[in-house]
C-alpha cells in the first residue's frame, strides 16, 4: 500500500502517485493526505485510515520519506509508529527498503535517531524544570489559603441555612457541590483532630 501527502489542494500529488505505481502499488491501495506538515501523522485523516487498514507484516511505500512529516522528529516518530505496529516502510527515492540489507540499516538508523531525539527532548524538559525550581518556581496546584476557604464555607453554609440547596449555595463562591463537601469534610476532620492534638501536648 502507498501513502502520499501534499500541503495544499493546489499542489499535485501525481508525481508521488506515478512513483508508487512504478513500484507496483495499485491506485486503490494509496492513502492520501492534503494537509500541512505541521500536523503529526496521528492527526492526518489519510494516515489514520492507513494505520486502521494496515496489518502486521504490511509495507507502506512512500515517494520520499519526508512525505511522512515536515520536521525530522515527525518523520522519525511516524517511522516508529509504523514499526511498532509491525508495518515496514519503503521509500522509493531514499533507497529505504526492508527487503535489502542497506534499506534495513537505514530503517534501524531512523528508529535509533527517533529514540535519541526523544531522549534529548526529555533531557531538555527536565533541565528546564530543574532550572525553574532553582529560581523558586513552584509546580503543581497553588497553595490553599485556609482563611479564604473558611470565608467561603461561611457564605455557603449561611446560604444553605436560608434554604438554598448545596449546589446553588456552592455556586455563590465558584465551587461545585463536590468541592464544597470536600472542604466541609476537611474542616470538620481538622476540628475533630485538634482537641486530641492539644491533649497530646
Active site residues: 7
Q: How far is CA 76 from the centre of its chain?
A: 16
CB 75 within 8 A of CB 66: yes
CB atoms within 10 A of CB 59: 16
CB 1 within 8 A of CB 58: yes
Helix axes 72-84, 101-134, angle to 10 degrees: 120
Residue in the block written with cell 489519510: 46
Q: Residue 141 and residue 162: Cα distance in Å, rounded?
A: 33
Q: Which residues are CB-neighbours of 169 under 8 A, at least 6 positions away?
A: 155, 156, 157, 159, 160, 180
Amino acid at each position: 500500500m502507498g501513502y502520499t501527502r501534499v500541503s495544499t489542494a493546489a499542489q499535485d500529488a501525481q508525481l508521488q502517485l506515478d512513483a508508487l505505481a512504478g513500484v507496483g502499488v495499485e491506485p486503490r491501495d494509496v492513502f492520501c493526505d492534503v494537509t500541512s506538515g505541521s500536523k503529526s501523522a496521528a492527526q492526518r485523516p489519510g494516515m489514520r485510515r492507513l494505520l486502521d487498514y494496515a496489518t502486521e507484516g504490511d509495507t507502506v511505500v512512500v515517494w520520499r520519506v519526508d512525505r511522512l512529516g515536515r520536521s525530522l522528529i515527525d518523520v522519525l516518530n511516524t517511522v516508529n509508529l509504523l514499526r511498532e505496529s509491525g508495518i515496514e516502510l519503503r521509500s522509493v527515492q531514499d533507497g529505504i527498503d526492508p527487503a535489502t540489507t542497506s534499506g534495513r540499516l537505514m530503517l534501524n538508523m531512523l528508529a535509533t535517531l527517533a529514540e535519541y531525539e526523544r531522549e534529548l527532548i526529555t533531557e531538555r524538559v527536565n533541565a528546564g524544570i530543574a532550572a525553574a525550581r532553582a529560581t523558586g518556581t513552584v509546580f503543581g496546584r497553588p497553595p490553599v489559603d485556609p482563611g479564604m476557604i473558611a470565608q467561603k464555607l461561611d457564605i455557603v453554609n449561611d446560604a444553605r441555612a436560608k434554604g438554598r440547596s448545596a449546589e446553588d449555595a456552592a455556586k455563590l463562591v465558584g465551587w461545585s457541590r463536590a468541592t464544597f463537601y470536600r472542604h466541609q469534610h476537611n474542616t470538620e476532620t481538622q476540628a475533630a483532630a485538634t482537641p486530641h492534638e492539644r491533649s497530646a501536648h
